[in-house]
Amino acid sequence: MSQKKEVLVLCTGNSCRSIMAEAMINAKMGDCVHAQSSGVKASGKVNPHAQALLESKGEWKEAYHSKVIETVLDTAFDLVVTVCDAAKETCPMFPKAVKTIHVGFEDPSGKAVEEYAKTYDLIEKELLPIIQKELCY
């Protein structure tokens, strides 16, 4: 079996969308991809609604936490995905040339709890197939 591809999901705060995407990719595509997430300006905490949603789907792991970009810069990623416009604008250059794509999602933080489920569904519909196509051939 070939080695798993590494994907980084990058956002601004790394508290909601990027963590959700990280968990979903690892839960649904873990046979070919390993995902990590980080924030350009990491908030240091995971949004409790995002965590509760992932827990309800059996996709939450205690290892998931909000982390700054510096902690992952040395990883040899196969793909970097920005999921918010601010991260797209400020995405750092990675030491190892890496393909970067942008698939934006509106931040549900501070909105009704149903918005988190909508974001989850959008990530599943829009982002996962792209990662599948890019990394799981």
Q: Which residues are catalytic?
A: 11, 84, 91
- Who's near 26: CB < 8 A, 6+ residues apart? 33, 34, 35, 59, 61
Amino acid in position 92? P
Per the listing, tokens 């908030």 go with 43
- Who's near 100: CB < 8 A, 6+ residues apart? 79, 80, 81, 82, 91
The secondary element (H helix, E strand) that includes residue 116 is helix 114-122
Cβ(40)–Cβ(90) below 8 Å: yes
